[in-house]
Structure 1
Amino acid sequence: MKTVLCRSIHERILPFLVFLAILSCESNTATSPKTPQFNHVYLHVSDMDRSLAFYTSAFDLEVTKHIRKLKRTLEDGQTVEQEINLALLKFPGHYFALEIGETLDSLASNILASFAHVGIEVEDIESASERIIKAGGLSSRPITQVETESIQAKTAFFTGPDGETIELMQIISGNF
């Protein structure tokens, strides 16, 4: 049983690591994209400290941010604040990030906080969202504004043709 579980975990994580390795070849020349670009891949982890130790030791990734609070502004203007545990890791000198998150709520009330996705940074989230819908994508979370201690952004989530989850993000201030 343990062998099957380990194989399953490796089968899920390995494609993300390969994807991350390929994208890490891009140098950190862009601060704000003129065209869409890959920004991050998100993985849910069960133990943040263990995962940080693993990714920094195994791949020489650097922790560039450790985010503990998130403020989300909903479409109706209502704001929701929540405690989170997210870390952004990057290869030295590179823009693309591995985002890992540990669910703090044992009931996982925010299911969107614990799914794997690819993040794409865009200059205009409204027109990029329209383009995804016209191409056949489905909106799974409308455009919302999010804030952390050092980043302010607009985000929206979509489902692609095979059920994959895509996050669009437009950075308003700060660096991811």
Structure 2
Amino acid sequence: MPFRNDSLNWGVMAKAFHWSVATLIFVQLALGWLSVAWPLTPTKLYLFIWHKSLGIVILLLVVMRLIWRLFNPRPQFPVTMPRWERVAAETVHGLLYAVLIILPISGWFLNSAAGVPFRVFGWMRLPALLAPSRPLTGIMIGIHILLGWVLISLLVIHILAVVRHHWLKRDV
């Protein structure tokens, strides 16, 4: 398997970025839900620390993946794929990248507005992006949750397209 992408296949690096981020997204969704639902105990604090820290890791991996993609264009779509499917695929991928960048940043804004000091995995302190503000905290909670649902919706579309093309049509 080639390290870099070619005109027909994703390379090892692109696949590593994809599956690392995909795995972390599902861990994040579980941690996000658990950290909100968990009773107020020290465990809740650890769940939030892991959720926030993995959010920053995802942000960094997505930025690295986008940089990698600048130098490794994606494989071509199958010639049999209709134009509308190509446009849909590019749109969903673009929106996934956008949400995967904006969502962790919204969490960072939320954390800042809440006035909570933040250290990635307890060691690297991230600066506050906003002054503490209770009204802004409420707004940021809403934005962060909404973006989480947008991400879930895009993932469902992406997964359905994968099933359609890899297993039903077998054209990729």
TM-score (norm 2): 0.30
* Structure that is richer in helix per residue: 2
